[in-house]
Chains A and B, each alone.
Chain A
Amino acid sequence: MKILVCMKQVPQKDAPLKLNETGAWIREDVSYEVNEPDAYALEEALRQREKHKGEVVVITSGPARAQQVLREALAKGADRAIHLEDPKFVGLDAFNTAKAFAAAIKDESFDLIFTGLQSDDYGYAQTGVILAELLGWPHATIIMQIEKTDGGIRVKRELEAGYFQFVDMPMPAVLTIQSGINKLRYATLIGIKQAKNKPLRKVALSDVQSAIGENLQKIERLYVPQKTKKTEHIEGSAGEIAKKVVDKLRNELRVL
């Protein structure tokens, strides 16, 4: 099975964010990490390859720093990587990002494409499904299990409120992967060493420019959300905080 995993580099979960001078994006001098659901998507691809043989290719878009995500994936066992390298890729909407990916892989033939179910930065939850439509492939979202069948694959979709559903579908297909589908592995020392010699293809913005157009949506401004709730801060030593909380529980919330 030949599987492409779309991965994204996002600001670390507890990184303090500041707006840049445009007011429509953040200052990029923060710490980054791999988008969490994408890590599960990669792990699932590696497990499928271990079962069925084949190849795992990872792809990302973004400035030079984004290569770190690919290096980590190669160290964990991906076979090769594709980097759409340009700072401008960060500003593309989901439609154009999917178009850029489709253009970058036009000479490849994958059986499956995995993405995380959404990103921790934009949170669109769209790029994978858009890519499927651009390629003319079927898709399924929020996947918790993948089994190869005679005619294709059987996947387990997570629905809301604890419900699930199995779906039979043909390949090639795009699947968006839910966190928790598997247990993540760590990169080994030997893996990290081998990653240095694995192929990494760079794709410039100019290589895919003709495939992408103007963004269909635009961030007018970014800001710290206004609080709708009045929050009272409880401060002091641990002991003092505990006393104050118990007082609130008893006298204001009346749950003690």
Chain B
Amino acid sequence: MADSILVVVEQREGKLNRVSWETITAGQAIASATGWTLEAAVVGGRAASIAAEVAAKKVAKVYAVESPKLEPYTPDAFAAALKQFLTAKQPKLVLMPHTYQVRDFVPKLATAMGRTVISDCIGFKNEGGKLVFTRQMFQGKLAADVSFTSDAPWFATFQNGAFRGDKAEAGAGAAPVETVSVEIADGVIRNQPQEVFKEAKQAVDLTQAEIIVAVGRGIKEQKNIEIAKQLADALGGDLAASRPICDSGWLPMDRQIGSSGQTVAPKLYLALGISGAIQHIVGMKGSRAIIAVNKDSEAPIFEIADYAIVGNLFDIVPALIEEVKKAKAGG
């Protein structure tokens, strides 16, 4: 059988996670670079309707891998179902989005099959027939090209935003959908998940903000948050933070930007003392303009900044507040 790529899209409670389109785009790009066939799979209790949605894209086939035991999600059931399916199917390459859910089961799945996952990739290269995957290391300071040294199936997960979901090509006609029922034996599932919930009503919706002033570790002490707030007020913007600031309780959790917080795309994102860990960047890299202030000239935030200011934020921010006030007063 010809070599194939299988994209496992993500669904939660019967809804497709949009990040899956990015993985389809990645799969289409690898298929065109290698000549391998691209197929997709949906795993769940009610996979069929999502499979039909995915079948509209340019893929050779879509599998709906179903069992009532796949609802609600557990790592035990997902790993068991996919192990069964992949062992029968033997794709060369299995691609998934690097979501919290995938992180929860894919290392288990690969280990159960004696295979490995190259996780959180941002791209790929075809080097004379050898596929290598690019991933960030050391919090984005360095990048690595990583290859598989084991037998297929190979597993790779892609970081949120690594490919454009809206670039996923539509197919000429709907791809065929095949429903595959998997057997999950009693006793396989050991975890009992309860209902998914939101902690509190999100008090602050930063997704609509036009200007965001965000603080990171570089702010050093809780009392220093005040100068960032003054700058945000002067600019008519909202105050936000990276995860460590909220972990320390210096700002409430609902002001957190990043993979575990809000994803924003304001006209201006002013990052004060934020180093730019991957988990933060995924939440703000869509901003129209990014200005970063950091004392460390090698901070990864500068990789994605439009304007870089290497220096002491405690000197720069007060001066900036003054200038903004002057400008607003018509000076």
Contact = CB atoms under 8 A, between A and B. Distances in A.
A216 B198 contact: no
A120 B139 CA distance: 6
A216 to B, nearest CB: 4
Contact of B320 (A126, A214, A245): A245
A234 interface: yes
Given A169-B191, A217-B147, A253 B108 contact: no
Interface stretch (B21-29, B40-48, B53-61, B243-251): B243-251
Given A164-B199, A229-B303, A242-B320, A217 B150 contact: yes
B327 A256 contact: yes
B68 interface: no
Contacts of B117: 126
A215 B116 CA distance: 9
A160 B319 contact: no
Contacts of B260: 142, 158, 160, 162, 178
Interface in B103-135: 103-105, 107-108, 111-112, 115-120, 132, 135
B184 interface: no
Contact of B309 (A241, A246, A252): A241
Given A123-B136, A215-B149, A222-B137, A248 B307 contact: yes
B328 A222 contact: no
Contacts of B79: 133
A138 B190 contact: yes
B327 A121 contact: no
Given A167-B193, A169-B191, A233-B308, A221 B145 contact: yes
B108 to A, nearest CB: 5
B211 interface: yes
Interface string A137-166: 011111000000000000000111111111
Contact of B108 (A11, A123, A130, A249): A130
B contact patch SS: mixed
A239 B321 CA distance: 10
A121 B115 contact: no
Interface in A204-256: 214-225, 227, 229-235, 238-239, 241-243, 245-246, 248-250, 252-253, 255-256
Given A179-B247, A234-B307, A239 B319 contact: yes
Contacts of B304: 229
Interface stretch (A13-21, A105-113, A189-197): A13-21
Interface residues of B, number: 95
Contacts of B1: none
B71 to A, nearest CB: 14
Nearest to B130: A220
A167 B74 CA distance: 10
B191 A242 contact: no
B316 A241 contact: yes
B138 A120 contact: yes
A93 interface: yes
A33 to B, nearest CB: 13
A203 interface: no
Interface stretch (B88-96, B166-174, B175-183, B261-269): B261-269
Contact of A220 (B142, B145, B247, B289): B145
A164 B323 contact: no
A17 B190 contact: no
A255 B235 contact: yes
Contacts of B101: 159
Given A123-B137, A162-B261, A242 B316 contact: yes
A170 interface: yes
16 contacts: A13-B275, A14-B275, A19-B142, A24-B144, A123-B120, A129-B75, A129-B107, A139-B75, A167-B193, A218-B147, A238-B312, A241-B319, A242-B316, A245-B291, A253-B289, A256-B235
Given A14-B296, A165-B196, A243-B323, 15 more contacts: A14-B275, A94-B107, A129-B103, A130-B107, A130-B108, A167-B194, A169-B190, A217-B116, A218-B149, A222-B143, A231-B302, A233-B308, A245-B291, A248-B291, A249-B327
